[in-house]
Amino acid sequence: MFSNLAEKLQSTFRQLKGKGKLSEKDVDTAMRDIRLALLEADVNFKVVKDFVTAVRERAVGQEVMSSLTPGQQVIKIVNEEMTRLMGDKQSGLAKSNKGQTTIMMVGLQGSGKTTTAVKLAGHLRREGRNPLLVAADIYRPGAVKQLQVLSESIGEKCYSNLEADPVEICREGLQISEKESFDVTIFDTAGRLHIDDEMMSEITGIKNEIKPDEVLLVVDAMTGQDAVNAAASFHEALGLSGVILTKLDGDTRGGAALSVRKVTGCPVKFVGTGEKIEALEPFYPDRMASRILGMGDVLSLIEKAEATIDQDKAKEMEKKLRKQQFTLEDFRDQIAQLRSMGSLDDILNMLPDGGYIPKEIKQMSLNEDSFKVVEAIIGSMTGNERQDPTILNSSRRRRIARGSGTTVQDVNRLLNQFNQMQKMFKQMNLADKKGSSKKMKKVKKKFPF
C-alpha cells in the first residue's frame, strides 16, 4: 500500500540526504518533487498546497539551515507534517455508556460498505463484543442477501425486513438488538451520491431515528480528487465521526487517506486490506507516515507476527537453528507461517529501507507462486529425505520432480537455497558467540524470525 508514493518520496529524500548544506534552491526542487508525488497519489490539490507550504516554511527556517544534517531534518519535518495530516494518534471506536453502541456505515456506491460492516463485526467479536448487523440497503438488488451471507459466514446475526423502508428497518433492528442483548449494532445503509438530495434526506432520517454513536464514512482508497467533495458533503449532512478506507491492498496510492481527514477533520479509524473478512486493521497515522517515507513499520510487523506466529513453535525453531538442526520440514513450516502473515509485498513494505530493495527483486520475490513450488517439492519428499537431504541422489531427485510437477533443476535449486540458508545460520551463530561482526547483526535484523 502507498508503494508508489513511497517510492517517489524516498528518491527525493535520497537526493537530500547526501547534502551537507541545503540551499533554498535545493529545498525548492525537493518541494516541487513532493508536490508532484502527492498529486500523482491523488492527494487533493488544495491539501497538497497547504502541506507543501507548511513543510517549506519550516524547511527554510532556522531549524534546518543551522543543522549539521539538513537533509535529515527535512525528512523529519515531512514525517511530522504527514503524521499530523493523517491525524497524529490512532482513534478507536466510540463505546456508548448506555450499554448499546450504535454504528452507522455510509458512503458512495461500490465503496465497500457491506463487506466492511461485516469485517467490523468480526473485529468487534474478537474484542469480546456481541454485534448485530442490520441490512438497510433495500435499493441495490441482492444487497440484503449479500450482508446475510457474509454475516453467516463468520457466524454473526443479521437483521432485515424486505417489506419495510430503511428507517423502519433500522428502528426494528435497534429494538431487537436491545431486546436480545447485543451490545453493538452496525447499520449497513445503501450507497448513495452525496448530491442526491432525496437519498441524503433519507439517510439523515435514519440518523435522527437511531442517533448512532458512530457515523463512519466508507471511502474507496482509489478515489481521486473527488474524494474530498463527497466526504465534505456527507460530513455536512450527517456529522461524521470517522472514516474507513477500503481496498488499500492494491497498489493504490491512498491519497484519499491524506486528504479526507484534513477536509472533514474526522480521523481514519480503520483500513481494509483484503478480501478476507479478517482483513481490517486499525489505522495508525504515525506508522503509516513512516511506512510511506520508507522508515518501515516494524511495530506493525511485530504485532502481526505475534498475532499469527505460534510462539512455542518459534522458540523451538530458534533452538533448532542454534543447534543447526534446521531441516527441510522446518523450512516448509517457516514458509507456511510467513504466508499466513499476509502478502509478501505488505511485509516487505514494513521493513525499514524497504524502498532500497530494487524494484526488480521485489517483483521477483513477490511471485507467491514460487512458495507453492517449494511447498510442493518438499511435500513430495519422504520423511527421511526431509530430515537428511544428503541422501537425495539423482534418482530420488527425479522422483521428487515428477511427484511435485517440477523439474530436477527446480529441485536442485531449492536444495542449493536450503544449503545456503544453513550456512548463513551457521555464520549467524558464530557471530553471536563472538558477539561481534556488525554485518551479521544486520543480516539478523532483516530476518526478525
Partner 1 sequence: MSLIDQFKNGLARSKSGFISRLDGLFGGGEINEAFYEELEEILVSGDVGVQTSVKLVDQLKEEIRRQKIKAREEARNLLLQLITGIMKPGETSVEQDEQPFVILLVGVNGSGKTTTAAKLANLYRQERKNVLLVAGDTFRAAAIEQLEIWAARAGVELIKQQPGSDPSALFFDAINAAKARAVDLVIGDTAGRLHSRHNLMEELNKIHRVIGRIMPGAPHRVLLVLDATTGQNAVAQAKSFNQSLAIDGLVLTKLDGTARGGIVINIADELKIPVCYVGTGETMDDLAPFRPEEFARALLED
C-beta separation of 435 from 412 below 8 A: no
Q: Does the protein bind partner 1 through residue 120 (CB under 8 A)?
A: no
The CB-of-4 to partner 1 minimum distance in angstroms stands at 8
Radius of gyration of the chain (CA): 26
Q: Is 340 an interacting residue with respect to partner 1 (CB under 8 A)?
A: no
Among 67, 130, 146, 337, binds partner 1 (CB under 8 A): 146
- CA atoms of 186 and 170, how far apart (whole Å): 10
**Which window, 167-175, 225-233, 323-331, 409-417, contacts partner 1 (CB under 8 A)?**
225-233
Angle at 70 between CA 292 and CA 355, to 5 degrees: 25
Under rule CB under 8 A, residue 350 binds partner 1: no
164's grid cell: 419495510
Q: Which residues contact 381 (CB under 8 A, 6 or more apart)?
A: 328, 392, 400
Q: How far is the CB of 368 from partner 1 (least distance, A)?
A: 7
Considering beta carbons, is residue 153 or 324 the nearer one to partner 1? Answer: 153
- Cα–Cα distance list, 63 to 225, 253, 289, 398 (Å): 33, 30, 21, 66
Query: Out of 61, 92, 250, 448, which residue is the one contacting partner 1 (CB under 8 A)?
Result: 250
Residue 223 Cβ vs partner 1, minimum distance, rounded to whole Å: 5
Q: Which of 256, 268, 293, 328 binds partner 1 (CB under 8 A)?
A: 256
* 174 interacts with partner 1 by CB under 8 A: no
Q: Which helix (H) or strand (E) holds 409?
A: helix 408-434
Of 90, 88, 8, nearest to 43 by C-alpha is 8
What 3-state DSSP class applies to 215?
Answer: strand
Least Å distance, CB 406 to partner 1, is 18
Q: Could you give the angle at the alpha carbon of 342 between the alpha carbons of 115 and 262, nearest 5°?
A: 60
Are 81 and 51 within 8 A, CB to CB?
A: yes
- Does position 119 interact with partner 1 (CB under 8 A)? The reply is no
> Under the criterion CB under 8 A, does residue 247 sit at the interface with partner 1?
yes
Using CB under 8 A as the binding rule, whether residue 220 contacts partner 1 is answered as: yes
CB of 19 to partner 1, least distance (A): 26
Residues in the site for partner 1, rule: CB under 8 A?
A: 36, 39-42, 44-45, 108-112, 139-150, 153, 193-195, 220, 222-227, 229-230, 247, 249-253, 255-256, 275, 345, 366-369
